Amino acid sequence: MVIMFDSEYPSFSLDRPSRFDLSTYIGRAKHFYEITDPRTLLKSSPQIQQAKDLIQSFKDGNSVGVPSIELWQARALCNSALHPDTGVEIDRPWRFSAFGPVNVPIAALLLFPSTNPLFILGSQFINQTYNVLVNYNNRNASSEMSLKTLATAYGAAVTASGGIAVGLGRLATKIKSNAPLMVAMKRAVVPYVALVCAGIVNLALIRQTELTEGVSVFAEDGTPFGKSKVAGRDAIEKCAITRALWCIPICMPPFIMASLEKIPIMKANKKIALAVELVVIFACIQIGVPPALAAFPQRDSLPVNVLEEEFQNRTDGNGNRVDRVFFNKGL
């Protein structure tokens, strides 16, 4: 599902990372609806490179006369497909524009009413493997991680998520009520708690170097100041909150299906019921995840007085004293 907005485009500016006002929640939500548009997955690597070259050409002063709408569309494609720190193309499955389509079968597995430990472990293994790859590909690239550390973090994340899911699943079996609402709650609440807990564990482990080494911080004009552990911790905390928020729409389908399953055709035809549930899952994810991503700016900032001593009394490239530093929070 694609959310469309008005066709008005402001004059293009390199100082604005989006045509929307990212200082407001509504502006950020519109921005994330735009860059999570699954249609961008249909763009080829040459088309993405062409968009990147167009933005670079404008930066070099060689794109005079190019309509703003064309430049903003190129910027949106770059925001969707390229890593904000490195400018390198992210493989399609790990982009947030693929989050909705990829999570339809994963969410269907997680929400399936099974108490079989092997099924639950398998579902969590698939989900956390995908989450590890998404977290790694959308991390702050200023904090690198060795392959050994990545493998250890991956193993710990999958083990933790499986243990949490199985434990909560066993607790859910003690709820004996077969009322539709209670069945929906068991199908939704248990996966939600497991997803949130495991997702935060996954995030912290895969991006642990941001906690131990910090992330690169800059003045507003781009002057680099080094790495801050305080900024790294702030980034992880906000991303953890974001994951708790985006798990809400992922776990909503059981409640919606509890009402839809009362329709006669849904009761009579299991194939139609399954097809409708997959559509509901996709709609919930595609509509619900961008507002969660918008909770905090991706290019975030902190006042220097909360940072380490080394960042106090710094000046930017023009000699002006810096009161705030900026950094890529990651997604």
DSSP for 145-160 reads --HHHHHHHHHHHHHH
Per-residue pLDDT at 1 exceeds 60 = no
CA distance 198 to 150: 16
Residue-level pLDDT at 90: 92
Full-model pTM: 0.75
Give 208-259 pLDDT, tens digit per residue: 888 888 888 888 888 888 899 999 999 998 988 888 887 788 778 877 887 8
Condensed to tens digits (0 to 9), the pLDDT of residues 14-27 reads 888 888 988 899 99
The answer, yes or no, to whether residue 6 has pLDDT greater than 60, is no
Q: Which residues pair with 321 in a beta bridge?
A: 315
> Which pLDDT belongs to residue 175?
63
pLDDT tens for each residue of 67-97: 888 889 999 999 899 988 788 899 999 998 9
- Average pLDDT on 47-55 reads 92
- Residue 299 is inside which H or E element, if any? strand 299-303
Are 288 and 295 a contacting pair, CB within 8 Å?
no
Mean pLDDT (whole number) for 145-156: 74
For residue 48, the model assigns a pLDDT of 94
> In sequence order, what are the beta bridge partners of 325?
302
Percent of the chain with pLDDT over 90: 14
pLDDT, position 26: 93
What are the φ and ψ backbone dihedral angles of 217, each rounded to 5 degrees?
-120, 150
The percentage of residues in the chain with a pLDDT greater than 70, rounded to a whole number, is 89
Q: At what angle do helices 270-293 and 25-35 cross, to 10 degrees?
A: 130
